[in-house]
A and B are shown apart, each in its own frame.
Chain A
Amino acid sequence: MTFLNFKSTAIGLVGAAAFAIGLSGPAMAQDTWQPTGPVNFVLHTKPGGGVDVFSRTLAKELEPIINQTIVVVNTPGGGGASQMAKVRAAKPDGLTLGVNTVTHFTGMLTNLRGTFSPDDFEWIALAQEDPIMFFVSKESELNDMKDLVALAKENGGEVNIGGFGPVGSMQNIGMTMLEESAGVKFNWVAFESTPDIIAAVLGGHVDVGVSNLGPALTFFEADRLKGLGVLGEKRLKTLPDMQTFGEQGFEVDTSWIQVRGVFGPKGMPLELQQQIADAIHKAMAADSYQTYARAAGVEDSDYGPEKYAVFVKNLTKVAEAQLAAAGLIAN
């Protein structure tokens, strides 16, 4: 791990130039990822969404590093099941990789339970961390989480919170964590896309919206939305005025964040996984990727296979406890 950390720091400092030199040096060739053919990035979403943009931007920077083309394969369907089936069936040679989000873990605990499990895969690298936040329209009387909780107490739970996905989804679990911590109940209104949530908040059709920073960012800059709080360890760099849940007195598990990571079929040698993770983190240092990531409001992560596997285990445990508490799965 020391090696990895050293490397990512170096990349952070030297930037894009680092890997150009690295590639030219024959000594480096031993421990860099050298796939024998085109690499498939299998996605669980349709083209054009957040995961797709991430994968394509990453692929573009990764291609010159590994000297192979990367094919982005969109395999929507089954809430990630079509994609996971494709990845699970592939040879563990590093030529077929999948991109995952937290949805994969909640899915494997609920509707896809018994069909797929985290043990069916190798969790290779974490690339992005994307905390969720609660926000309201500029005209709203609410100013922070305390106001929100006070309102919910007053109304007996009649506060509408609009977020992505049904009960049991990543964002919904974030809300139930807050419910437990504050001892109140909210009313979950499910939406199918983040722009719809923002539109509903702006139009006054729900009281509070939940989303990641990226899609909402320009609305903050345009002064149309105000943030109530962010579910994370630290405040967001881009919106430093918004306090975390913890700062406002609501303790929740701050590891509950949206992620984008890379996984592969079971049985891939750890050495290869480490090489893939290194290559990915190297590609993420490139200028165009950095421009994209800052605009999308996500934080970079340098977790390799060992750290990511632990992270996944922990995340699954948290999700399981929450889903069981919500009565969605039997414990």
Chain B
Amino acid sequence: MDHDLSETRGWRARFDVLRGASPVIDLIGCAVLFAIFWVYLSSALALPAPLNNVDIGAGGFPRLLAIATLIAIVAMAASALYRLLDSVPVSWVSVRRPVNVAITVVILIIQSIYFEQLGMLVSVLVFSVATMAACGERRILHLIGVPLALAAFIYTVFVLALHVNLP
């Protein structure tokens, strides 16, 4: 998971890199997962009881699963703590170009909200330009050519050939 900075070449490597010690990241992840499975367990407990005594009911399996997973999450946290306190140097988890990644996440979310309203062609054109730009493409010809080619491809395959109903 530890990506060396020297791996990224070009000027964009000067952008900041988000970096955290792997055990610390693990602990944060464990906390979030624990919360999620805690909610899962409580809603499993709230499920109606089985209709008769031969069934374990709708909640039986989820309950068992939630408890097992919670134990696994605690074990994951314990192993992260152990690594944190260990003398062996910790490894790092890094997100390179965090700004670009964050922008792309926002682009994806916006696309998933407006895909239907905008229609397939418009959203493919607009958002593929945006995604390429976020990835660092600066050549105008590429920024225009690729989305057009992609939209044409999707239109031919999905709409003309397969008769899929796209918005």
Contact = CB atoms under 8 A, between A and B. Distances in A.
Asked if A and B bind, the verdict is yes
A112 interface: no
Contacts of B163: 71
Given A71-B165, A73-B165, A167 B54 contact: no
B164 to A, nearest CB: 10
B140 interface: no
Nearest to A326: B51
Nearest to B165: A73
Contacts of A73: 165
A159 B54 CA distance: 13
Interface string A244-258: 000000000000000
A167 B51 contact: yes
B: interface residue count bin: under 10
A: interface residue count bin: under 10
Q: Is the interface of A mostly helix, strand, loop or mixed?
A: strand
Interface in A154-185: 167
Interface string A69-93: 0010100000000000000000000
A52 B165 CA distance: 16
Nearest to A69: B163
Nearest to B163: A71
Nearest to A158: B54
A167 B58 CA distance: 12
A140 interface: no
B159 to A, nearest CB: 12
A187 B50 CA distance: 13
Interface in B17-63: 51, 54
A187 B51 contact: no
Contacts of B51: 167
B165 A187 contact: no
A187 B163 CA distance: 45
A66 B15 CA distance: 63
A132 B125 CA distance: 51
Interface in B85-111: none
A35 to B, nearest CB: 17
B47 to A, nearest CB: 14
Contacts of B165: 40, 71, 73
Contacts of A187: 54
Contacts of A167: 51
Nearest to A185: B52
Nearest to B51: A167
Contacts of A71: 163, 165
Interface string B132-167: 000000000000000000000000000000010100
Interface of B: 51, 54, 163, 165
Interface of A: 40, 71, 73, 167, 187
Q: 5 tightest A-B contacts by CB? A: A73-B165, A71-B165, A167-B51, A187-B54, A71-B163
